[in-house]
Structure 1
Amino acid sequence: MNAYWSALAGRKREVAVLLGWSVVEGVPALLGGRLVGLAVDRGFAVGDVPSGVLWLVLFALVAVLGGFGLRQVFTRLGGVVEPMRDALVTAVVRGVLHDGRSHRGLPDASAVARITRHVEVVRDATAGVLVQARALLVTTAAALVGLATSVAELAWLVVLPVVAALVLFGLLLPSLARGQRELVLADEDAAEVAGAALLGLRDVVACGGAARAAAEVGERVDRQAAATVRMAWAGALRGVVITLGGFAPLVLLLVVAPGMVASGALSAGEVLGAVVYLSTSVQPALRRLADTTSTVVLRLVVALRRLAEAAPPPAAPPGGLEPSGGGLELRGATFGWGARAEPVVRGLDLVLRAGDHLAVVGPSGIGKSTLAGLVTGLVAPQAGEVRFGGVPVHLVRPSVRHRRIALVPQETYLFTGTVRENLALLAPEASDADLLRAVEAVGATGVVRRLGGLDGAVGHAGGGLSAGEAQLLAAARVHASPAEVVVLDEATSHLDAAAEARVEEAFAARGGVLVVIAHRLSSALRARRVLVMDGGPALLGAHEELLAASPAYAELMAAWQPASTG
């Protein structure tokens, strides 16, 4: 995925440093066999023990140099891998938050698997490729060069078995890739089903569905186990192929070398040097090839593919879209909290322009707060569209959306600080006079005065304030903001009727678009238009029109008015 390659491309210098230390690490593979052969031919075999020891000491120093190079590789590995991991986590979290499944009231268990499993797989696999594949290329190339230059007569003993092993291994790769993907999908499926069962455990037990839930989870676990077993068999077969390429050259060397030494074509030191090249460089390199390709590379490719599938489509340019104007338009907007759930908002058409004052009424749980989420861009419609200034509201640049659209929920958030800091949260450029005008407009003057004015302290989470006082301060905060669209989602539920009326009238007089999720039906009497949500097609109209057109609305009003006057 783009985040992966971008992160690696941004670390070109660090990758170049790794390759430089890889050359140092490969020096023992290049010179090791040659030095051991010289120790025999020019030292021990001719009775010159000091010379033989000297060559071996030189070999030891070269090995130490290679170890130092390897240490430097590991030291600098984090500078490449960790930034890449951070970029992937950011991309996956953004994908989960934009994925429709993350808005169904339950966490996406497979998304948790993607973050905890796939991102870590990519991180570890990338590190493995940078360590193993890099070392494989450097070590193998160095060993083959050293073998060809010191014992050219034996080069064919290495080339033919290695080529045969590589061909067979290449034929196995497609089945290994399919098996790895099946295992990853089985892991995700098991996580999703088990997560849903555990989160809904009370409902499962209450409905008598424990046996069915256990059977579904068990089926996924069995499928996961079967995929694991198939991968294990494929890994065993891979080991047989690599063993052929790693040990066959040694066997051929043992068969051919004695005759060549007897004929004088090779010296004992050259044969020993060839053994060193094969046993310490070529054979381990082939094993690393198997490990790197069949475990590291395959896991990396499959994990990146799954992360790319989970990422949101590039529907908007980086940073989001810029609206060209104001106003809200809903065209066939539909949303439901689940794949098979009945939509709570279905095919809604609605146009709101500056100066509009809309009240949304209906029984609890009918979808009024969901509509507030659609209007403010907190959730995206599953069908249809919700546009602000001509562009999908959920794709508007966040900084723009937060400035121009405000949601005041029922639960008020106040933070520890001064009254001024709380009121100016959405309007940091507002003057004290602006803040006090907003306070006066919504009827919060008494609350601010009791707290000691704008310099007064607000305790942790609004401690020391009643729920109604906290709602008044939240209303004043939004009133002071530059928001052109204000949604009051039962934001006055803790106020009495008179205080509620003052808040709504203050926002209506402020201008812009006002949407009130009604707590009391008196909100409908103050609004220019009313949207009735009762489970069927939503009805939109003025109060008097709806009394005649909607039996549900008329019944709600009839039930409320006696209580309100009594």
Structure 2
Amino acid sequence: MGPYLRALAGRRRAVLALLGWSVLEGVPALLGGRLVGLAVDRGFAVGDVRTGVAWLVAFAVLAVLGGFGLRQVFTRLGDVVEPLRDGLVTAIVRGVLRDGRSHRRQPDASAVARITRHVEVVRDATAGLLIQARALLVTTTAALVGLATAVSPLAWLVVLPVVAALVLFGLLLPSLARGQRALVMADEDAAEAAGTVLLGMRDVVACGGRSRAAEDVGRQVDRQARATVRMAWSTALRGIVIAVGGFLPLVLLLVLTPGMVAAGTLTAGEVLAAVVYLSTSVQPALRRLADTTSTVVLRLAVALRRLAEAAPEVPEEAGDLVPGEGGVVLRGVTFGWGEHAEPVVRDLDLDLARGAHLAVVGPSGIGKSTLAGLVTGLVAPQAGTVLLGGAPVREVRPDVRHARIALVPQETYLFTGTVRENLALFAPTAGDDDLLAAVTAVGAADVVARLGGLDGSVGHAGGSLSAGEAQLLAVARVYACPADVVVLDEATSNLDPAAEAVVERAFAARDGILVVIAHRLSSALRAGQVLVMDGGPPLLGTHERLMAESPTYADLMAAWQPATAA
């Protein structure tokens, strides 16, 4: 609840603006029925058509004003819910990445359900709550006040059914809450099962476990379907509440008011005013009450509880150390994806001083990208230490760490905007000359020229670019930033060998620290040092030394060189 409440508190002015416009929206609910009653009693019923029409025109004007207020409510709703969603996604990702309570190291596939489905539930439920709660507070109150003042003898016809509706709501809430939580857990378990199978697809196929994997996923999907059906049946009971609270007053009105009109207790205009209040304000508000209570509030409460359980709140800024000017040092670093899993990095010692150029080679899935995560501080070692400038990298003040270390992953992320905006993402103060120099250094000048220069447009997620062109812009973006430790995690996998060489030489010439998770073994030939990872103790040395001392490295080179020659 912490991030949720803080996000709402940060949008206090926007919430108050919603309530202010709601007052305007509630004016027709307060006066509408009374104006219709006056149109009948003082106009049409006594043969004064002009007066009757005038009262109806006044009612129409109020309805237009109320519609304008409702429009403003929806216009400003995004000012509250969109920052709320962004804040929750940030908190969840931080909690998943930095949850220190758990020793589980494998990817958390269920986090996908939390970041997508559960956050969207919170976003939509908050929007619904703001709309529905506002209507209940403003519109219903206005309608009941108007009904009590305009047609006081009929007020009890509304009060008693509303109380009965509230009692029914109270009886339904426990089962609805249980059903909603069961549905949330079933959604998350289905995402976990499917994500685990997809992440390990090669292992599943290699081990002949396709049938078993399909059964596991299918079982969770069936459980999810059953939970959805049970929730649908529970939700269907809302019809009872709507019938009791919304339609019963109209039935009582039809049964009792004819006699009251005949006895002179009520006028026809007062009866019509009561009908207007019930049909245009009270009944819709009760329907929204059913929606809000049995779906919106429950979904919001269950989703927030689950998010808090699965991604505990962690301090936004976990470290406060400022490192010195030294390089990157690893001492006795060990890491495995699981408490009992075989480590992919074992007892690694590594010294990277300014000017170091390291290539990391080895078979796929052996832990090279894990090493990138350890160096950048995204992953905490199970044993040993990773130091940046003499300080533990994960305890370095985040803004300093982000400024000094840059990671370029294989999966390129470009956002819709100008080329300039994409290139300046990590260097917002960089001038155009600096950005163009970075573009030229990594060999991306032709790509930028084709897009129309720095003012050119990058389509959604880089959709207007090939995979190689997108990678060139991504490395140019990092080249333009001031980071002195750069990790290229197969960041040039979609480039041809010549373009890859240009990128690596450009970064090596910056006189910082360059770590290349090699996609091609040609990266090892350009590096000052090579780290070989093959599942055993890591081997570190120059290309020449490793060719002489490491059979694994020699075999990799022998397999690669004929392929390049061909």
Q: Work out whether the TM-score is over 0.5.
A: yes
How far 1:69 moved relative to its partner?
1.7
AA of the residue aligned to 2:131: V
Aligned ranges for residues 186-225 of structure 1 at < 5 Å? Answer: 186-225=186-225
Larger radius of gyration between Structure 1 and Structure 2:
1
Structure 1 CA distance for aligned equivalents of residues 104 and 438 of structure 2: 27
Q: Which residue of 2 aligns with 1:517?
A: 531
1:417 to 440, 443, 456: 440
Q: Which residue of 1 aligns with 2:522?
A: 494
Q: Which residue of 1 aligns with 2:142?
A: 142
Q: Which residue of 1 aligns with 2:29?
A: 29
Query: Which has the higher mean CA deviation after the structures are superposed, 259-268 or 69-78?
Result: 259-268
Distance 1:113 1:370, change over 3 A: closer
8 Å CA contact retained: 1:109, 1:195: yes
8 Å CA contact retained: 2:189, 2:220: yes
Can you list the C-alpha shifts for 1:148-200, whole angstroms capped at 9, x where unaligned?
11122222221122112112202322221221121122112112212333444
Can you list the C-alpha shifts for 1:258-281, whole angstroms capped at 9, x where unaligned?
333333322222222112211221
- What secondary structure does 1:25 align onto? helix
Structure 2 CA distance for aligned equivalents of residues 424 and 380 of structure 1: 26
Structure 2 spans left out of the alignment, 5+ residues: 412-436, 445-474, 485-491, 541-545, 558-566
8 Å CA contact retained: 2:104, 2:339: no
How far 1:71 moved relative to its partner?
1.8
AA of the residue aligned to 2:195: G
Distance 1:371 1:43, change over 3 A: closer
Q: How many residues align?
A: 486
For the pair 1:476 / 2:490, whether they are aligned, the reply is: no
Structure 2 CA distance for aligned equivalents of residues 291 and 166 of structure 1: 13
AA of the residue aligned to 1:494: S
For the pair 1:59 / 2:59, whether they are aligned, the reply is: yes
Distance 1:36 1:389, change over 3 A: same
Distance 1:278 1:468, change over 3 A: closer
- What secondary structure does 1:517 align onto? strand
8 Å CA contact retained: 1:323, 1:390: no
- What secondary structure does 2:305 align onto? helix
Q: Which residue of 2 aligns with 1:529?
A: none
- What secondary structure does 2:116 align onto? helix
Query: Which has the higher mean CA deviation after the structures are superposed, 305-314 or 115-124?
Result: 305-314
Structure 2 CA distance for aligned equivalents of residues 115 and 194 of structure 1: 16
AA of the residue aligned to 2:33: G
How far 1:58 moved relative to its partner?
2.2
- What secondary structure does 1:417 align onto? helix
Distance 1:463 1:556, change over 3 A: closer
Distance 1:30 1:316, change over 3 A: closer
AA of the residue aligned to 1:65: L
8 Å CA contact retained: 2:94, 2:314: no
Can you list the C-alpha shifts for 1:514-559, whole angstroms capped at 9, x where unaligned?
xx6258xxxxxxxxxxxxx965xx6999xxxxxxxxxxx9x96799
8 Å CA contact retained: 1:336, 1:342: yes
Distance 1:353 1:44, change over 3 A: closer
Structure 1 CA distance for aligned equivalents of residues 31 and 408 of structure 2: 73
8 Å CA contact retained: 1:490, 1:518: no
Q: Which residue of 1 aligns with 2:427?
A: none
8 Å CA contact retained: 1:408, 1:489: no
Superposition CA RMSD, Å: 4.8
Can you list the C-alpha shifts for 1:204-244, whole angstroms capped at 9, x where unaligned?
34422222122111211111111111111111112212321
Q: Which residue of 2 aligns with 1:182?
A: 182
Structure 1 CA distance for aligned equivalents of residues 255 and 442 of structure 2: 90
Q: Which residue of 1 aligns with 2:158?
A: 158
The percentage of counterpart residues that share the same residue type is 67
AA of the residue aligned to 1:163: V
How far 1:377 moved relative to its partner?
1.6
Structure 1 spans left out of the alignment, 5+ residues: 436-458, 505-515, 520-532, 542-552
For the pair 1:43 / 2:57, whether they are aligned, the reply is: no
Distance 1:376 1:288, change over 3 A: closer
AA of the residue aligned to 1:268: A
Distance 1:496 1:369, change over 3 A: closer
Structure 2 CA distance for aligned equivalents of residues 427 and 43 of structure 1: 77
Structure 2 CA distance for aligned equivalents of residues 47 and 492 of structure 1: 94
8 Å CA contact retained: 2:442, 2:503: no
Q: Which residue of 1 aligns with 2:425?
A: none
- What secondary structure does 1:26 align onto? helix
TM-score scaled by length of structure 2 = 0.70
8 Å CA contact retained: 2:438, 2:476: no
Distance 1:382 1:292, change over 3 A: farther
Distance 1:560 1:324, change over 3 A: closer
Structure 2 CA distance for aligned equivalents of residues 269 and 366 of structure 1: 83
TM-score scaled by length of structure 1 = 0.70
Can you list the C-alpha shifts for 1:135-155, whole angstroms capped at 9, x where unaligned?
221111001100111122222
Q: Which residue of 1 aligns with 2:5?
A: 5
8 Å CA contact retained: 1:334, 1:382: yes
Distance 1:75 1:206, change over 3 A: same
Structure 2 CA distance for aligned equivalents of residues 262 and 462 of structure 1: 90
AA of the residue aligned to 1:322: L
Structure 1 CA distance for aligned equivalents of residues 104 and 508 of structure 2: 27
- What secondary structure does 2:226 align onto? helix
Distance 1:388 1:262, change over 3 A: same
Distance 1:372 1:63, change over 3 A: closer
8 Å CA contact retained: 1:99, 1:312: yes
AA of the residue aligned to 1:233: W
Structure 1 CA distance for aligned equivalents of residues 128 and 98 of structure 2: 31
